[in-house]
Amino acid sequence: MKAVSMTLPSADLAVLGEETPPVEEAERQAIVGRSPIRIAFDRLKADKVAVICAFIVVGMIVLALLAPVITGLLDIHETTEEGELGPTALDYIGFPEPEYGPPNGGFNADHPLGIAPRTAYDNLAVLLYGMRLSLFIALVCTSISVMIGLTVGLVAGFSRGWLDRVLSFVIDLFLSFPLILFAIALNPIITSRFATNDAVRGKVEIISLIIVLSTLGWMGLARLIRGQVLSLREREFVLAAQVMGMPTGRILFKEMLPNLLASIVIVVSFMIPAFIASEVALSALGIGLKGANSLGAIIQSSQGYWREYPLYLWAPVLVVTILVIALNMLGDSVRDAFDPKTRR
């Protein structure tokens, strides 16, 4: 007769005196007694891609916040002083002389990225201030979109009947609006109504762009939150809270919201680069910011010099590319940290 071999489960192996595999036991002991947020944060710290991307993003944010300090230490200015690099320093086609650095000259420590054609603005100073404005717009739009999407998603998912149907219709209605057409239709109306003079035109354009991006940026989060709330409202802790007579607002924001934190963090990590890319795209197309200094406005003003002055165009394009890629890869790492099944 042949001997029959059989594989025993790990519980039976423990009964027979065999130990649980050390890798699984070490991983189990490493997460005992810790919250999901702490576990995800530890996974992020162990992810080299996440650490590198976080370092790049934090570095760019610090450079943007310290733009006035950096330009002061390097003695560079967004606008040059009269007589230093004024129009007399430019040749007949409007390009800087060789002694002022790129594109006609070599590296100049006073102007590392050269100076702008015709205006003689320092490109590094303009780039730092533009990065600060683009990050500010992205953060403001993300905050507004999260508040709207979270509120609509919670109410739509928890309610039943006509209110859920109405909110779902509103979400689908806003999802049907094309971003570019919406910006083309709304931006001129707001600008012409409130930009009474050139002094306030830049601020009006910023507010108008924030309204456009925030109006069309909350629906994805609302649908995600609604779907998760539909499953959470049938859980035992929610039913127990309803039986106890707990107010609906407390159930939504005290009982359900903590269970949605992981999804919110993941969505926010992807919202920020999406808003940065949208601002750059709209401004580069001429329907975003014109009177304000942002990354998109810089790219829009430098498009005509891609052949004669490539550094003037590719410096802001490279900054946008690095920033958006770093934020997207950081978002992927955040998603993998909160959902170990999708980890690389």
pLDDT digits (tens, 9 = 90+) for 3-13: 444 444 444 44
Give the model's pLDDT for residue 313: 87
Yes or no: say if 272 and 63 are a contact pair by the CB < 8 Å rule: no
Give the model's pLDDT for residue 77: 54
Inform me whether the pLDDT recorded for 344 exceeds 80: no
Q: If you average pLDDT over residues 312-338, what whole number do you get?
A: 89
What's 53-78+122-342's CATH class? mainly alpha
Report how far residue 168's alpha carbon sits from residue 122's, in angstroms, rounded to the nearest whole number: 49
SS3 percent helix, strand, coil of the chain, rounded to 5, is: 70, 0, 30
Inform me whether the pLDDT recorded for 146 exceeds 80: yes
Report how far residue 294's alpha carbon sits from residue 272's, in angstroms, rounded to the nearest whole number: 15
Report how far residue 304's alpha carbon sits from residue 104's, in angstroms, rounded to the nearest whole number: 17
Q: Give the burial string for 53-82 (b: 16+ CB within 10 Å, else e).
A: bbebbeebeebbeebeebbeeeebebebee
Report how far residue 148's alpha carbon sits from residue 155's, in angstroms, rounded to the nearest whole number: 11
Burial class of residue 119 (count of CB atoms within 10 Å of its CB; 0-12, 13-18, 19+): middle
Q: If you average pLDDT over residues 235-255, what whole number do you get?
A: 84
Inform me whether the pLDDT recorded for 183 exceeds 50: yes
Report how far residue 14's alpha carbon sits from residue 249's, in angstroms, rounded to the nearest whole number: 48
Inform me whether the pLDDT recorded for 89 exceeds 50: no
Q: If you average pLDDT over residues 287-300, what whole number do you get?
A: 81
DSSP string, 110-136: TSTT-B-TTT--BHHHHHHHHHHHHHH
Report how far residue 258's alpha carbon sits from residue 49's, in angstroms, rounded to the nearest whole number: 27
The pLDDT-based confidence of 97 (bands split at 50, 70, 90) is: confident
Give the model's pLDDT for residue 340: 61
pTM: 0.80
Mean pLDDT of the chain: 79
DSSP type of residue 263 = H
Inform me whether the pLDDT recorded for 29 exceeds 80: no
DSSP string, 18-75: PPPPHHHHHHHHHTTT--HHHHHHHHHHH-HHHHHHHHHHHHHHHHHHTHHHHHHHTT
Provide the token pair at 5: 């071999």
Give the model's pLDDT for residue 102: 80
Q: What is the 3-state secondary structure (H, E, C) of 188-246?
A: HHHHHHHCCCHHHHHHHHHHHHHHHHHHCCCHHHHHHHHHHHHHHCCCHHHHHHHHCCC
DSSP type of residue 88 = G
The pLDDT-based confidence of 47 (bands split at 50, 70, 90) is: confident
Give the model's pLDDT for residue 152: 92
pLDDT (tens digit per residue) in 329-342? 988 888 888 776 65
